[in-house]
């Protein structure tokens, strides 16, 4: 199975600071159809996860554009350009290229 | 609008079988996949398995021997059955929609406790 390794496990930030989260895959997530099925989710406390980014860099409808995704192959990054209080929670990457799908271990974003 | 709702027992005894239902609305099960994801309390997300739009299934390798996912398209329902439950199966179980932008809609989750 594909292993997704997220770093750092915990991230402390001040409001307005820009931060990045890394997600590294044990094998390339480029599908034979040319798509790369790597998504980013945010789970706020007590809530189900919500989709932020799909297909590496496509912003889900309604998600603020301070969130951006990039990367290819095995290395991916989620960037938040100017953290806001509502961004606190746990971020997960998830791949849907190779069955069975797998999640990263999560990165907890907290206030410094 | 799109909705997913999980239902099932809150308490299951060790060694018994867990049966959960995900009832969907606002989309067709023959057009979208549905995934099951679980989360032990205070821990991360674990992908369990999927019911594909065409009826195919795939499972987490670690759970494959205990897990079965099926559906009833006439009732807009996807079912999860997992046998031989143990205490480390305690947690919140979610269903979520798959597709082009997978994980775009989630149920609120159902908390399952495995205890005697």
Share of chain A above pLDDT 70, in %: 100
* Contact with chain A for residue B46, Cβ under 8 A: yes
Cβ contact, residue pair A100, B49, below 8 Å: yes
Neighbours of B36 (CB within 10 A): 27
Cα-Cα-Cα-Cα torsion B16, A1, B98, B38, nearest 10 degrees, comes to: 30
User: Which pLDDT tens digit goes with each residue over A37-57?
Assistant: 999 999 999 999 999 999 999
Q: What is the mean pLDDT of residues A4-20?
A: 97
B53 Cβ contact partners less than 8 Å away, ≥ 6 residues apart? B29, B30, B31, B32, B33, B99
Q: How far is A26 from chain B (nearest CA, A)?
A: 16
Region at B84 (left for phi over 0; alpha for psi -120 to 50; beta for the rest): left
Q: At A17, list the tokens.
A: 């600071």
Q: How far is A10 from chain B (nearest CA, A)?
A: 13
Cβ-Cβ contacts under 8 Å, B109 against chain A: 48
The mean pLDDT value of chain A amounts to 96
Q: Nearest Cβ partner of B104 from A60, A99, A100?
A: A60
* pLDDT for res B29: 97
- Total number of residues shown for chain B: 116
Whether residue A34 is predicted with pLDDT greater than 90 in this model: the reply is: yes
Mean pLDDT, each 10-residue run in order, chain B (116 residues) = 96 97 97 96 94 95 96 98 96 93 93 96
């Amino acid at each position: 199975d594909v292993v997704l390794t997220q770093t750092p496990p915990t991230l402390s930030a001040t409001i307005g600071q820009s931060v990045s989260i890394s997600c590294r895959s044990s094998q390339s997530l480029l599908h034979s159809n040319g798509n790369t099925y790597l998504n980013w989710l945010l789970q706020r406390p007590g809530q189900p996860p919500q989709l932020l980014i799909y297909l590496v860099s496509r912003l889900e409808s309604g998600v603020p554009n301070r969130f951006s995704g990039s990367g290819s192959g095995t290395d991916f990054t989620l960037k938040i350009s100017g953290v806001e209080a509502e961004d606190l929670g746990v971020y997960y990457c998830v791949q849907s290229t190779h069955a069975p799908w797998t999640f990263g271990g999560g990165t907890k974003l907290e206030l410094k | 609008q799109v909705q997913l709702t999980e239902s099932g027992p809150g308490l299951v005894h060790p060694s018994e079988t867990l049966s959960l239902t995900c009832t969907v609305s606002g989309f067709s099960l023959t057009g979208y996949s549905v995934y099951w994801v679980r989360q032990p309390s205070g821990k991360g997300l674990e992908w369990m398995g999927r019911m594909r739009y065409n009826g195919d299934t795939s499972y987490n390798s670690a759970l494959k021997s205990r897990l079965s996912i099926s559906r009833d398209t006439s009732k807009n329902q996807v079912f999860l059955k997992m046998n031989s439950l143990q205490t480390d199966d305690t947690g919140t179980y979610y269903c979520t929609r798959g597709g082009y932008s997978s994980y775009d809609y989630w149920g609120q989750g159902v908390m399952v406790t495995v205890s005697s």
